[in-house]
Structures are given as C-alpha cells and as structure tokens.
Amino acid sequence: MLLLLFPNRATAAPHHVRLSTDFQNDNWFPLSKTEMQSAAVDAALAELTRKGAFVFSDKEGPGVGLLTLKVSLVEAAELVKISMTLHLAEVSYVATAATSLHDMNRRGIFRAFEHVGTTAAHRMRLKLEPTNGIEAEKPENLAAKTLYDQAQQLKKETHFEAAAIRFATIERLHPDAGKWLELARDEIRYGLPLFEAKYRITEMGRFSANPIDIFKPVERANQLFRQILAENTDKIERIQEAQRYLDELGFTQRALQNSIEAQTLSHAHEIKFFLMTHYSSQGTWPDAQEIQSMLKTLALDFDILDYFQEEIGLEITLEHRTYKTPISLTGNNRGRLTLDIKRDL
C-alpha cells in the first residue's frame, strides 16, 4: 500500500510511503482482528487524510518511505496502545497514543480503538504541520517560551488543535529547550487533554434540537480521561484525578441514557398496542410488511433493524431515528408481548 504524504512546503513533491500494520493482542479478543483493523487503522488513516494530504497504492521502490502502525493490547486487554512510525528518506517521526478499556462493552472498546487511532494520527500530522508564521528565529529558550505562551493562550480560547500544533512545534524545532520542551510534552499527554475534557463537560448544558448531540461531548470527555489514565501511569495523582472524573461522568452518562431510553420506550408503546391489537383480532402477529406500513401510517420515527417470526412467536428490533436507541419487541404464541431496550453486551 502506498501513501502519498504531502510535505510542509506546498510546492514540494509528495513523499511516497507504504503502509504496514501489526497487531499484538496476546490471545485477548475483546475485538476480532478485523474489528481492530476497522476501528484503529481506518480511524488513523481517516485522520491522516483529513486535509487531503495522503493517497494510497501498493507500489514500492527507491525513495518510498514506510508508515508502520503497531496496535497492542496490554495488561490483560485493560489498555490499547498504538505506535505510529513514519520513515522518510531524510528523517523519521514517531507518534503514540493509548487509552483504557476498563469496564467497557464491545461498542465502547470499538470506539476506544477509533480514538487511539485518530489521536496517534493527529499527533503524527502535527509533526508534519507547516511552521510558516511561527516565530523560530529567536534564541532557543526564548523562541520555545514564545510558542509555549501562544499555545497556552490558544488552549484557554478553546482552540485545541492550534494549541496542540504550538506544543508539538516546540518538540520539533527546539529539542534543546530544557524546561519548555518538558512542559510542552507534558501538555500533550496531560494538560491539554484534561483542559479539553473539562471543557467538553460544560458543553453538555448547551441547547440542541437533537437530544443525541448531548452525548458527543460526553463521549469525547470520556475518551480523553481514559487517554490520560493510560498515558500517565507514572503519576498516581493523575490516575486518581482522571478516575474520579470518569466515575462522575459515568453517573451523568447513565442518567442521560436512562432519559433517552425512557423517551424511546414512550414512543414505542403505540407500536406495542398495534401489535397486540393485531394479534387479538387476527390470531397471528403481523408480518414485516404490515409493520412497515403501520410505521408509515402512524408516522412513528422507527426503523426496522431485524424481524424474525415463526410459529412459537415474534422477535423485532427497531431503532428510533432521533434517539438512536434500539428496542426489542418479543411476542409468544399466546399473544403476550414484551417491550425492552436492547443494550450492547
């Protein structure tokens, strides 16, 4: 696979880079290899190509670099780590990311793989960002301090990507900047994600016409706190802090989910009434086409995800279009029907 990587200067020729992937899970299988590929690698490549700087092919030869993505499950699948190495003719770059998988269901684990893939790719992309307009001609420490101060100001203004670029630039342009380099590195692994996570929590109070939008900042904050857990294992106070936020966020997330599920069930009771009325009058459950017609006639915002009927009963899975919550309707051959939320394992 060939990756065309456009360098910092817009007029320079693109670099040719092959893609290589490696998965290490030590016989832990919360996700299959295919799912790991889909989640982590696809998310990483999506981030790398976000600004149209990469193209893929299978060619290799002189002048072709190598981009390696190593995905590892460690500590009995409690953590997932990604190491991304870009080898070019003149220089090599390394970017890593990690997050905690503790107490996650399959859906959560999949999203965690996506998060580390995106994060590692984002960090790699920052290493290749143009430095145009970023002052680098001052003495080493003064230039690094200027970048650090700019990054802190951008962080306070919630321009997180721009702040991350400044912090990453210190490491790239000023590797001998002493404390400013250490401070910048610490911001990338702790200060910046912590600040953004706290900011995302405040976004939960913003009005939106779509109630599902409230879960986006919650999910982002959750992933950032888990990232802090995995990337600051040498700092016990940071682990405690991130875990405390995760615990509090878990209560909030559960309350929000309960509210969404209650709304979904409320909308679904009309479907339950229709099904039981149909069985009472016809002696059979309606087929998929009849249910589809009913959904249209009653203008109910549900889609049929799965339909299964046999002599002993009926099983239907529906999803509400607004609340994105699947429900299951299970009927037996005596006309009894149960309605429940269908949750991930």
pTM score, whole prediction:
0.76
Shared-domain flag, residues 96 and 12: yes
Residue 41 maps to which CATH number? 3.30.160
Overall number of domains in the chain:
3
- φ and ψ at 287, to 5 degrees? -85, 175
Residue 137 lies in a domain: yes
Q: Please tell me the distance from the alpha carbon of residue 5 to that of residue 244, in angstroms, as a whole number.
A: 41
Domain end call among 192, 210, 234: 234
Q: 252-261 contacts: CB < 8 A, separation 24 or more?
A: 252/204, 252/218, 253/215, 253/218, 253/222, 256/214, 256/215, 256/218, 260/211, 260/212, 260/323, 260/325, 261/323, 261/325, 261/341
Mean of the pLDDT values across residues 299-325? 86
Strands (E) in the chain, as ranges, are 2-5, 15-24, 56-57, 64-74, 79-87, 92-100, 302-310, 313-320, 326-332, 337-341
Mean of the pLDDT values across residues 128-142? 63
Residue 17 lies in a domain: yes
pLDDT tens figures, 165-224: 999 988 888 888 889 999 999 999 999 999 999 999 888 766 566 667 778 888 899 999
Q: Please tell me the distance from the alpha carbon of residue 321 to that of residue 303, in angstroms, as a whole number.
A: 7
Residue 263 lies in a domain: no
Domain end call among 94, 125, 156: 125
Check residue 149 and give its pLDDT: 95
Token pair recorded at residue 57: 């092919």
Residues contacting residue 27 through CB under 8 Å, at least 6 positions apart: none
Q: Domain span at residue 321?
A: 268-341
pLDDT at 239 over 90: yes
Q: Count H helices, E strands: the chain?
A: 10, 10
Shared-domain flag, residues 117 and 139: no
100, 111 contact by CB (below 8 A): no
Domain end call among 125, 142, 175: 125
Lowest mean pLDDT among 9-13, 56-60, 307-311, 341-345: 9-13
